[in-house]
Every structure is written in structure tokens, then in C-alpha cells.
Amino acid sequence: MPQHKFGRFNFPTSRALVMGILNATPDSFSDGGQFAALDYAITHAEQMIRDGADILDIGGESSRPGAPPVPLEEELRRVLPLIFALRDCGQAISVDTYKPEVMREAVLAGVDMINDINGFRAPGAIEAVKDSDCALCVMHMLNNPTTMQAQPEYNDVVREVTAFLAERIAVLTAAGIDKERLWIDPGFGFGKTVEHNYALLKAGRQMVAELGVPLLAGLSRKSMIGAVTGKPVEQRLAGSIGGALAAVAHGAQIVRVHDVAETVDALKVWQAAH
Ligand code: 7PJ
């Protein structure tokens, strides 16, 4: 049976996997401080595991448009305790970072995926992950989180994002990284208009066929959901489930979501009807 090698795990290719978003940013814990934030994140992780998440994606920096960057030491302080607390939870652990130093520490701690919104372009990023067996998610982003939503422009968004990902795959494999470790992600909302996002969503299978690498899709609660439903971020659950199913219909093998229980149920019914 074909499988995705994923760090310590082998995942079946016969169903889509659910990646639960685990926020390690203590934004709402300015009073309770670091331990309250850690405690909350672990409780949230345990809930997502009960809800059926295959992978937990730990992120220590909010990469929403316009978000200020987090210093390295602060990101390590947020992310590392969570990795250590969760690495033996039985599910795969991913770390959402573009900083090579964080990648290095995460790899040493034995995580199963490094998820880089910057596509491993930072100096030292490739070296940080090369000599491990963790999966690598290579995402496309136009410019950077501070500037990316300022009038994104493409002649042909699908062709340009595919070409970017092809170039990153070539660079990573030339550095000696096994292609089987790689995942691609068009980066919904990262320097794209609503039209760009839906063009990319619809082109999922074409990108997978062209690049020969499986696809991860993250559109949970994003503005592309809000643009179609007219709903604010706290009312985007149903829209996000629709988006997750659409992504899977268009070839995604991992969906990155906030609402694990609901997405797992939707995908189970989807799978049963397949
Ligand atoms: C993504 C991500 C995504 C991958 C974020 C948010 C913004 N990593 N990290 N793909 N988005 N691979 O969740 O709204 O789309 S942070």
C-alpha cells in the first residue's frame, strides 16, 4: 500500500489527513503569562487529538497579514516546551516556522514535519533540515507577511506559483533531500487576492501532477472563506469545512484546520461516499 513517509510515521495515501493548528502565541495571556499559555496550548492539543487530528502544527509566530515578526528567543521559548510536551502524544508533530534556528531545535527534538511558509529560502534553512527524516512543507508566499497583501499581482498565478514551487523542489533535492519528504502548498492568503486563491485551489491536481509532490492546503477561517460567505472570522466554520472538502476534491492530501472535530467528520462522510 502506498504511504507518505512522515518523520516517525507512515500515513496512508488513501484518505486525506487532518492537521490541527496549535497556536503557541500567548496573545491572550498577557496576564497569566507563559505558563498559562503553555497549559492552554497543551489542553487544546489534547482536545484536537481526541477529535482525530493526524498531525499537530505548532506555530510560535502569528503569520497573519501585517503581523510583527517575533524575535528568535521568544519563538523558541513558545515552541520548544510544546514540542517536548507533545512529541510522544502518539500523533505526528509539525512546526510552523521559517527560522533555521527553530528548525534545528525542532529537528533535534524529533518532530515529524517542518512547515515553512517561506519555502526554506532563509539562509541556513536547508542545512537545518537536510540530515533528518522529517517531512518538509514548502509554501509559496509573495514578499513577506508584512507586505504580502499590498496589491498582489501575477500574470498567471497558477503558472507562477507552480514555477516557484518547482524551483524550490529542485533546490531542495539538489541539496540531497529525498523528494519523498516534500509537500507543496500554494499558500492561500499569502500575497493573493480572493480570485488568486480560488484559481490556485482549483489547480490543485494540476500542480500535484506537474510537480510530483503531494499537496497540503490551509484555508481554515481565511479571508477567502469570508469573501464568499460574507461572514467574520468567528463565523467561518461551515465555510471552512466546505473549503477543506473542496481542497480534497482538488487533490489535497493534508488539510490544515482550526476545527478538527468537524473537519474529521466531514472527511469521514466524504470518504465513505467515495
Ligand atoms: C498556512 C500555514 C498555510 C501552511 C499559516 C493562518 C495563517 N502553513 N501557516 N499553509 N497558514 N503550510 O492559519 O491563517 O496556509 S498561518
Determine whether the shortest distance from the Cβ of 118 to ligand 1 is under 6 A: no
Q: Where are the domains of the chain?
A: 3-273
Q: Which of 117, 148, 165, 222 is the best mutation target for the ligand 1 pocket, counting ligand atoms within 8 Å of the beta carbon and taking the most?
A: 117
For residue 193, give the nearest of 258, 142, 246 by alpha carbon: 142
Q: Report residue 63's pLDDT band, with 50, 70 and 90 as the boundaries.
A: low
263 CA distance to ligand 1 centroid (A)? 16
Please report which helix (H) or strand (E) contains residue 4, including its range. Answer: strand 3-6
Looking at residue 138, its pLDDT comes to 98
Q: Whose alpha carbon is nearest atom 8 of ligand 1?
A: 117
CA distance 91 to 79: 17
pLDDT digit string, tens, across residues 190-208: 999 999 999 999 999 999 9
Beta bridge partners of 256: 19
Using the predicted structure, report yes or no on whether residue 29 has a pLDDT greater than 60. no
State the average pLDDT for the chain: 94
CA distance 190 to 118: 10
Beta bridge partners of 11: 4
CA distance 154 to 156: 5
Using the predicted structure, report yes or no on whether residue 30 has a pLDDT greater than 60. no
Mean pLDDT of 17-24: 96
Q: Whose alpha carbon is nearest atom 15 of ligand 1?
A: 218
Determine whether the shortest distance from the Cβ of 137 to ligand 1 is under 6 A: yes
Beta bridge partners of 28: none
Q: Whose alpha carbon is nearest atom 11 of ligand 1?
A: 218
244 CA distance to ligand 1 centroid (A)? 13
Query: How does 131-144 read in b/e, with b if 16+ C-beta sit within 10 Å?
Result: ebebbbbbbbbbee
Using the predicted structure, report yes or no on whether residue 28 has a pLDDT greater than 60. no
Using the predicted structure, report yes or no on whether residue 244 has a pLDDT greater than 60. yes
User: What phi and psi, each to the nearest 5 degrees, are found at residue 254?
Assistant: -135, 135
Determine whether the shortest distance from the Cβ of 64 to ligand 1 is under 6 A: yes
Catalytic residues: 222, 256
Q: Report residue 31's pLDDT band, with 50, 70 and 90 as the boundaries.
A: low
CA distance 149 to 183: 24
Mean pLDDT of 31-40: 80
For residue 144, give the nearest of 64, 50, 78 by alpha carbon: 64
CA distance 51 to 161: 33
Mean pLDDT of 235-262: 98
Looking at residue 219, its pLDDT comes to 98
Using the predicted structure, report yes or no on whether residue 46 has a pLDDT greater than 60. yes
Range 3-273: architecture per CATH: Alpha-Beta Barrel (3.20)
Q: Report residue 96's pLDDT band, with 50, 70 and 90 as the boundaries.
A: very high
Looking at residue 34, its pLDDT comes to 76
pLDDT digit string, tens, across residues 106-123: 999 999 999 999 999 999
pLDDT digit string, tens, across residues 135-184: 999 999 998 777 777 788 999 999 999 999 999 999 999 999 999 999 99
**CB-based contacts of 32: which residues, under 8 Å, 6+ apart?**
none
Q: Report residue 8's pLDDT band, with 50, 70 and 90 as the boundaries.
A: very high
In ligand 1, the atom with minimum distance to the C-alpha of 64 is 7
Determine whether the shortest distance from the Cβ of 57 to ligand 1 is under 6 A: no
